[in-house]
Amino acid sequence: MTFTPSQTSRRRPFHRVTASALAIIAAVSLSGCTQGTMSKGAWEDTGNLSYWMWDSNQVPAYQACASAFEAKNPDITITIEQYGYDDYWNKLMTSFVADSAPDVFVDHSSKYGDYAARGLIENLDELVKENNIDLSQYVDGTIDLWRAADGHQYGMPKDWDTVAIYYNEELTDQAGISAQDLGTMTWNPDDGGSYEDVIAHLTVDKNGVRGDEAGFDKTRVATYGLGLDDSGGGYGQVTWSMLAATTGWTYMNEPTWGSDFNYDDERFQSTIAWWRGLIDKGYMPPLSQTVGTALSSKIQAGSYAMVTDGAWNINTFAKLQGVKVNTAPTPVGVNGKRASTFNSLADSISSSSKKKGAAWKWVQYLSSPECQSTVADAGVVFPSLSAVGDTASDRFAETGFNIDAFTTHVDDGTTVLFPLSQNAVEINAVMTNAMDKVMSFSTEPSSLTEVNEKVTGLLSE
């Protein structure tokens, strides 16, 4: 087993797409096998397998899985290559074009629909059936996210995630805001509820005046009550999705693979109007100030009192030096419940692999109780197998964080599936540009009605 390192990434939502990346996607031919069984022409059961991933935090756990797998399969070796998030997808698309794709790679739910449509990854249905894999052992929703528009399964789920609020305990203590206060926040798009009250009180200008006090200077803010990562693009996974979902709004007319987007919905636009209003009030930084700095660094520096971020960054926040961080659940919204986008990563097999038999053995092992237990014990993500969930929660709890802030959505059924669609790269590029304009006050939230027509049109192209 070997490992090739690269830079880490700070997040897992959809990255900003370059024109060259879009061109590469368009250049990939519609070949391969998007239907039926896995191609048998390259069914080798031995050899060296290349395995790509982007999260450096997870590499040690998967190195351990690779060592255990190699001990059981001495004729197969695993070479793990890790790249930073943006580099990862650009390199992967280039490798597809050059017919040099990794045998197995960590896939994202926002990506694989286009790969499947182009025959770049393998349909696993018959292999799952032949090997009697019990799909009911996975956390609810994970399998759903890996069934494409054609009804076939293109990845074996490896983990799941939700989002929660990370906060600087020193700043909340100074503000007289308790963990109970944070855990019982409510929100609505009219006045922001107690959530906005907390955000305002945690905001402090350079004269020490809080956002809800007379004399607050919104032009000279020292600490913003709520941090901002970016405009959220078309998904808003760690920005606005947990709020909009409580209004009854949904991304599309179907949970996944819908035919219409709903960015023209008044409930969505009113959510964005409220969220943008935090910038105008001085409680959240302008979009122009958010480029290039991780949310965790801003929390560590005291620039942000609270941020919303994913479970995949628990260890990142837990390892921050000189600051005590904890977590709270997202606020209870309009429908009287909390909400969080629910996503899952999976391992996919490249159609161009010359060793598909060995690749399938590795993919099976990656989703097996043995490997999943190793990952759970490392405490870096919530594994997809329900049976090892408690182990992961226990390890995460050792950070001192309130892990229920993440698991409550699965326990209470308040998850919203990450939206799946064809042409996702192009769609998110359009939405990111549109949302950047809205959050920069160049256009109004109502402009998203026209944008909705454009992205809905892309679904049928």
Bigger pLDDT: 42 vs 71: 71
> In angstroms, rounded to a whole number, what is the distance separating the alpha carbons of residues 71 and 219?
61
> Among residues 324, 329, 321, 319, which one has the least CA distance to residue 379?
319
Q: Reply yes or no on whether the pLDDT at 9 is more than 50.
A: no
Q: What is the band of 32 on the pLDDT scale with cuts at 50, 70, 90?
A: very low
Q: What is the band of 35 on the pLDDT scale with cuts at 50, 70, 90?
A: very low
pLDDT averaged over every residue in the chain: 91
CA-to-CA dists, residue 36 to 109, 121, 352, 420, angstroms = 21, 12, 16, 21
Beta strands in 343-448 (DSSP E): 345-349, 382-383, 415-417
Average pLDDT, stretch 122-148? 96
> In angstroms, rounded to a whole number, what is the distance separating the alpha carbons of residues 355 and 40?
10
Judge whether 380 and 372 are in contact, CB under 8 Å.
no
Q: What is the band of 342 on the pLDDT scale with cuts at 50, 70, 90?
A: very high
Number of Cα atoms under 13 Å in the Cβ half of residue 151: 3
Q: Reply yes or no on whether the pLDDT at 222 is more than 90.
A: yes
What is the three-class DSSP state of 447?
helix
Q: What is the band of 16 on the pLDDT scale with cuts at 50, 70, 90?
A: very low
Helix pair 424-439, 266-281: axis angle to 10 deg: 50
The string of pLDDT tens digits covering residues 237-279 is: 999 999 999 999 999 999 999 999 999 999 999 999 999 999 9
The domains of the chain, with CATH numbers, are 2-160+345-384 (3.40.190.10), 163-342+421-459 (3.40.190.10)
Confidence at residue 293, expressed as pLDDT on a 0 to 100 scale: 78
Average pLDDT, stretch 441-459? 97
Q: Reply yes or no on whether the pLDDT at 52 is more than 50.
A: yes
The string of pLDDT tens digits covering residues 164-199 is: 999 999 999 999 999 999 999 999 999 999 999 999
CA-to-CA dists, residue 241 to 235, 251, 275, angstroms = 7, 9, 11
The set of residues, in sequence order, having a beta carbon less than 8 Å from that of 394 and lying 6+ positions away, is: none
Q: Reply yes or no on whether the pLDDT at 5 is more than 60.
A: no
Confidence at residue 44, expressed as pLDDT on a 0 to 100 scale: 85
The string of pLDDT tens digits covering residues 58-100 is: 999 999 999 999 999 999 999 999 999 889 999 999 999 999 9
Bigger pLDDT: 69 vs 33: 69
> Among residues 73, 302, 121, which one has the least CA distance to residue 203?
302
Q: What is the band of 31 on the pLDDT scale with cuts at 50, 70, 90?
A: very low
Judge whether 21 and 93 are in contact, CB under 8 Å.
yes
> Among residues 391, 392, 374, 228, which one has the least CA distance to residue 298?
228
pTM of the model: 0.91
Residues, the chain: 461
Judge whether 100 and 351 are in contact, CB under 8 Å.
no
